[in-house]
């Protein structure tokens, strides 16, 4: 029996994508081309590998055996690429990155996809976590890089055996309801109803510094700790909020929000913290850190 591994990869793609149409869309070929490859695989093996039902195609018992074989082949090829990369002096190893929502969405997701293509010897793991949990995991060695807001309580701490690197210094902006007049000056902001901020968020300190410049304390109602909640509150007309530009890159696609920039709002500094010793940071950690800093510098925040 002759088996073409390329056809096994097609079957694996169907299994992971959930059907022939989805698999065709993933690899950007026609569904007919996918079906032809499966037909040839069934000719080679003499068995039916897909049970075509009204709700989609599912694996037969024989199809599951072939998918398991395809997964083993894929794993072996991945290990081989990493071994070859090590022989060629390329960077190899696993780097675990702990970070918060806006940095993951706007910076890390596109970067990780790019690095996995350019540096196949690297295995990148991104985990969303709180700053406090991230600091504990960094200390335990479960996280290699921890991205933090420098103005957060954890960001302002300086634990022994760690080192901080500036990643991104981004402007704060005022988020206001889309149907509200856009404030033009800090005096306009002093008259607005504000959302309160959880003390654990970096925006709490930045908001406090800004409001301290007002002649009198503004009216504050409701409290947020998660940026998505703040965006929903602003869109619902509950108040205005000081938010980082990075967090609003995607949010501006939602109805009900407008972002206003003006002098005097300040910036949010995002830092990357890593362990610092004779053995740390490892070469692969330094490589990923350099890539993060470079990608952050290329972000276009002008659309916010």
Tens-digit pLDDT profile for residues 275-290: 998 888 998 999 999 9
Place of tokens 């790019």: 114
Q: Which two tokens stand for residue 99?
A: 């970070």
* Nearest of 187, 182, 166, 188 to residue 268 by alpha carbon: 166
Tell me the C-alpha to C-alpha distance, in Å, between residue 61 and each of 50, 66, 69, 92, 285. 9, 9, 13, 37, 43
pLDDT at 24: 83
Q: What is the mean pLDDT of residues 189-214?
A: 92
Closest CA to 120 of 92, 140, 162, 158: 92
Is residue 210's pLDDT more than 90?
yes
Q: Is the pLDDT of residue 54 over 90?
A: no
Percentage, residues of the chain above pLDDT 90: 51
3-class SS string, the chain: CCCCHHHHHHHHHHHHHCCHHHHHHHHCCCHHHHHHHHHHHHHHHCCCCEEEECCEEEECHHHHHHHHHHHHHHHHHHHHHHHHHHHCCCCCEEEEEEECHHHHHHHHHHHHHHHHHHCCCEEEEEEECCHHHHHHHHHHCCCCEEEEECCCHHHHCCCCCEEEEEEEEEEEEEEEECCCCCCCCHHHHHCCEEEEECCCCHHHHHHHHHHCCCCCCCEEEEEECCHHHHHHHHHCCCCEEEEEHHHHCCHHHCCCEEEECCCCCCEEEEEEEEECCCCCCCHHHHHHHHHHHHHHHCCCCCCC
For 225-243, what is the mean pLDDT?
93
Number of other residues whose CB lies within 10 A of the CB of residue 179: 9
- pLDDT average, residue stretch 243-265: 80
| pLDDT of res. 190 | 92
Q: Residue 289: what pLDDT?
A: 94
Q: Is the distance from CB of 124 to CB of 98 less than 8 angstroms?
A: no
Is the per-residue pLDDT at 21 higher than 60?
Answer: yes
Between 45 and 303, where is the model more confident?
A: 45
Q: What domains sit in the chain, N to C, each tagged with a CATH number?
A: 5-87 (1.10.10.10), 93-168+269-297 (3.40.190.10), 169-267 (3.40.190.10)
Residue 241 is predicted with a pLDDT of 96
User: Where does the pLDDT of residue 148 fall: very low under 50, low under 70, confident under 90, or very high at 90 and above?
Assistant: very high
**Residue 149 β-bridge partners:** 270
pLDDT band at 256 (very low <50, low <70, confident <90, very high): confident
Which token pair is 209? 């510094």
Give the whole-angstrom CA distance, residue 15 versus residue 63. 9
Residue 86 pLDDT more than 60? no
Indicate the range of 17-31, 155-169, 188-202 predicted with least confidence.
Answer: 17-31
């Amino acid at each position: 029996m002759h088996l073409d591994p390329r056809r096994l990869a097609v079957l694996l793609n169907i299994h992971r994508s959930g059907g022939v149409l989805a698999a065709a869309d993933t690899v950007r070929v026609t569904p007919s081309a996918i079906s032809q490859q499966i037909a040839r695989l069934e000719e080679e093996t003499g068995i039916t590998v897909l049970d075509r039902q009204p709700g989609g195609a599912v694996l037969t018992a024989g199809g599951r055996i072939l998918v398991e074989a395809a997964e083993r082949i894929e794993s072996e090829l991945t290990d081989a690429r990493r071994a070859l990369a090590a022989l060629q002096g390329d960077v190899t190893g696993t780097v675990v990155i702990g970070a918060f929502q806006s940095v993951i969405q706007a910076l890390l997701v596109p970067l990780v996809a790019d690095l996995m293509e350019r540096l196949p010897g690297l295995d990148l793991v991104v985990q969303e976590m709180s700053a406090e949990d991230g600091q504990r995991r960094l200390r335990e060695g479960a996280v290699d890089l921890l991205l933090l807001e420098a103005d957060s309580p954890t960001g302002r701490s300086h634990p022994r055996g760690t080192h901080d690197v500036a990643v991104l210094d981004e402007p704060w902006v005022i988020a206001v309801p889309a149907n509200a007049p856009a404030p033009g000056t800090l005096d306009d902001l002093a008259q607005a109803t504000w959302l309160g901020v959880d003390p654990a968020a970096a925006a709490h300190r930045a908001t406090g510094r800004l409001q301290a410049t007002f002649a009198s304390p503004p009216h504050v109602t409701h409290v947020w700790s998660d940026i998505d909640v703040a965006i929903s509150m602003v869109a619902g007309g509950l108040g205005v909020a000081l938010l980082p530009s990075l967090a609003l890159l995607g949010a501006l696609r939602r109805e009900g929000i407008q972002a206003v920039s003006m002098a005097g709002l300040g910036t949010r500094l995002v830092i990357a913290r890593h362990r610092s010793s004779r053995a740390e940071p490892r070469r692969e950690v330094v490589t990923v850190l350099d890539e993060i800093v470079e990608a952050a510098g290329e972000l276009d925040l002008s659309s916010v």
